[in-house]
Chain A
Amino acid sequence: DIQMTQSPSSLSASVGDRVTITCRASQSISNYLNWYQQKPGKAPKLLIYFASTLYSGVPSRFSGSGSGTEFTLTINKLQPDDFATYYCQQSYSVPPDTFGQGTKLEIK
């Protein structure tokens, strides 16, 4: 199974900051990397698929990059609504679809 590792596990930032979350795969997954946002008590929401394609309705301050084994999610000009937990997920070699352990983004 492909292992997904996110860093950091948590980070604190302020409204207006730019933040970057990294996701590493245990082997190459081409561009088959997806990013999700989850708020407490809610189901995750798809933000980015195929490493860099913004899902419908997702604000343009979110962006993704990377290929192979290393990927990043960047959020520009953080908004209060962006404080949540973010997960990466590989869809290259399934099953199983594997997720990173999550990155909790908190308000500084």
Chain B
Amino acid sequence: EVQLVESGGGLVQPGESLRLSCAASGFTFSDYWMHWVRQAPGKGLVWVSRINPDGSIIDYADSVKGRFTISRDNADKTLYLQMNSLRSEDTAVYYCITLVGVRAFNIWGQGTMVTVSS
């Protein structure tokens, strides 16, 4: 079964850091682009970042550029999102996603909640 499982969310104060992880199984992780998308409480979906299969191409949304770092470990089949200098507006559920066989987000993790509050 193709599966993505996020972890690492939690409650942090503004300015602090958090690292999210996404464990992949059921597919050849090293062949696929991986993305992070977030959803603030009661709001819509917002793309955050992406990384290509070998990690040589990385992109970020303007809102997180310079603060967030996406990375991957293909040997461990794990995607990461290092989030620094967190702000209240980063509060959201963060989803790990990939595209397998189609040019659309067809594989989603269950999401992990990040709350930034003092």
Contact = CB atoms under 8 A, between A and B. Distances in A.
B44 A49 contact: no
A95 B35 CA distance: 11
A55 to B, nearest CB: 7
Contact of B104 (A43, A46, A96, A100): A46
Interface string B74-118: 000000000000000000000100000011111011110000000
A101 B44 contact: yes
B94 to A, nearest CB: 11
B108 A45 contact: yes
Nearest to B48: A96
Main secondary structure of the interface of A (DSSP, over half): loop
Contacts of A45: 108
B46 interface: yes
A62 interface: no
B45 A32 contact: no
A55 B44 CA distance: 22
A97 B35 contact: yes
11 contacts: A34-B104, A36-B105, A43-B108, A46-B102, A46-B106, A50-B104, A91-B104, A96-B59, A96-B61, A97-B50, A102-B45
